[in-house]
Amino acid sequence: MNKVITSFLLAAALLSVLSCGEVVSGRVECDGKGIKGVVVSDGHKTCKTGPGGRYRFRSGMPEGYVFISLPSGYEAPAEGLIPQFFTRQARDARFPLKKVDQSMFRMMVFTDLHLTGDKVDDDLRQFREIFYPDFRSSAEKMLQEGPAYTICLGDMTTDGKWYRNSFALPEYLEELKDYPMPIFHVMGNHDNDQKGEGSFEEWTRLAELRFKDEIGPEYYSMNVGGVHFLMLDDIITYGPRKEGNPYKNPVGRYGFTYAFDAEQLDWIREDLKYVPTDTPIVACFHVPLFKDGKKEVHNAEELLSLLEPYDKVDLLCGHFHTTRIDSLAPGILQHTIASASTVSWKLNDVKGARLICDDGTPAGYQMFTFVDGAASWVFKSVYAPVEESQCKVYDLGGGELLLNVFNWDPAWKIEASCGDKEVALTQVWEYDPDYVSLRRETKMLLKRPKSFLPYKAPHFFKCSVPGDRKDLRIEITDRFGNRYSAI
């Protein structure tokens, strides 16, 4: 009996050692000197580098890599577009960093590029001729002004066309190969591989493999200029809809569920242990937590509860191809950023049409500026300078005007006057007239009657100005005091 017990205990001890994995080790350094206090993780466990910049802990590297949470005031080298803050090397890995003054830095943010190499969508021509030249030019100007970085909020491509069109994540990287700065990515629902083979329980891991191999970690964090960035994944994939799939009410043919999985939430708790509550937080993920008051991410409250102690939190997300800024709680703003591809490049058969989203937002991106940790932001259309990118005015006839202020939130001021008289403006939820017209005209969407429908958005204003309008002025002031003239 004692031998049985002894054998059982030995087996249990061996299993315990194996489950801890081998020792992973490395060094974080700058100019040959170690950097103390850098957080290192395998996506589950975390630790800090010691006085010589070294780390050492047991890990089975369950995600296939170890990554550092980039410390403020440092940059990582890049291979092509991919910043090298992670390694697949278990032992004696090196993270050589460069010291940078990040008291002021800028961030380009784009989402939902949906490149597919599709002859019908004609996406590559539109991307190369319309979106990319302006996007690249803005990035180059940013770099001339100081440190600058780029975040992509997912859906770089479209998974359903990876194999059909031979256009997936490597081809996306090739299209942007001359982009002048590294891009920090998060996963979108269309960045999951549809060809995984395994059980339904294994599917979410299988679907993520190509992203992890070709882009990098599924979730991670970094610190830039005193701001802590959480780069997260709020999509769980349960495999194709077919007999035997135990998961109910999935979204799409491959069973997307919008949620943060338990392992990631555990990691977020670990990561935030190292972040003081007066640190500004920027959390980036693909699907917004809420839309029009409806919960989109099933366990949104769990993430919000983890972020609630922090004084200032900005959530950056995409997915819906529209622009929205919502206050979810005191100190927590959710930015829903419009799609770079507008409606996935499908407005290409209407002569003279511009690329616009289903709320009227033109193709573009957001530009953030951080000064001593404080954030400001502005929308930039690929068709116009910033000063002319903020709105569009429609003449509805009968003296009535409709103003679409794309990036509006309740902290903005919209003021109108005609001569020395103030003109009353009323905020309304409305459809964008241009998009309504284009949606009817484009043949590309005739076979998709429920897709990309016009979206009634809250960033519209109406006013009535009968008679002579030669002295009409409409002024827009954003929450940071920047003034723009609509008319």
Tell me where in the chain the CATH 2.60.40 domain(s) lie: 17-96
201 vs 178: CA distance, rounded Å: 39
Burial of 466 (0-12, 13-18, 19+ CB in 10 A): exposed
| Diameter of the chain measured on Cα atoms | 102
Domain 17-96 has CATH 2.60.40: yes
Q: What is the mean pLDDT of the chain?
A: 92
Does position 448 have pLDDT exceeding 90, yes or no?
no
Number of CB atoms found within 10 A of residue 217's CB: 23
Non-local CB neighbours of 249 within 8 Å, separated by 6+ positions: none
Does position 342 have pLDDT exceeding 60, yes or no?
yes
What's domain 101-386's architecture?
A: 4-Layer Sandwich (3.60)
At 8, the pLDDT band (50, 70, 90 cuts) reads very low
**Token pair of 301, please?**
């409250």
Q: What is the pLDDT of residues 383-423, one digit of tens each?
A: 999 999 999 999 999 999 999 999 999 999 999 999 889 99
Q: What is the pLDDT of residues 63-110, one digit of tens each?
A: 999 999 999 999 999 999 999 999 999 999 999 999 999 999 999 999
Q: Are 90 and 22 in contact (CB under 8 A)?
A: yes
Q: What is the pLDDT of residues 458-484, one digit of tens each?
A: 999 999 988 788 889 999 999 999 999
Give the pTM: 0.93
Non-local CB neighbours of 427 within 8 Å, separated by 6+ positions: 414, 458, 460, 461
Side chain identity at 346, as an amino acid letter?
A: K
Does position 343 have pLDDT exceeding 70, yes or no?
yes
Q: Are 128 and 86 in contact (CB under 8 A)?
A: no
Half-sphere exposure of 142 (CA within 13 A, CB side): 25
454 vs 436: CA distance, rounded Å: 6
**Token pair of 474, please?**
């409409």
> Looking at residue 453, what is its pLDDT?
95
Non-local CB neighbours of 311 within 8 Å, separated by 6+ positions: 277, 278, 280, 331
Q: Are 259 and 273 in contact (CB under 8 A)?
A: no
Q: What is the pLDDT of residues 153-207, one digit of tens each?
A: 999 999 989 999 999 999 999 999 999 999 999 999 999 998 877 776 777 788 8
> Looking at residue 470, what is its pLDDT?
84
> Looking at residue 249, what is its pLDDT?
58
66 vs 3: CA distance, rounded Å: 40
Q: What is the mean pLDDT of residues 278-297?
A: 97
Tell me where in the chain the CATH 3.60.21.10 domain(s) lie: 101-386
Closest by CA position to 296, among listed 262, 333, 336: 336
> Looking at residue 13, what is its pLDDT?
36
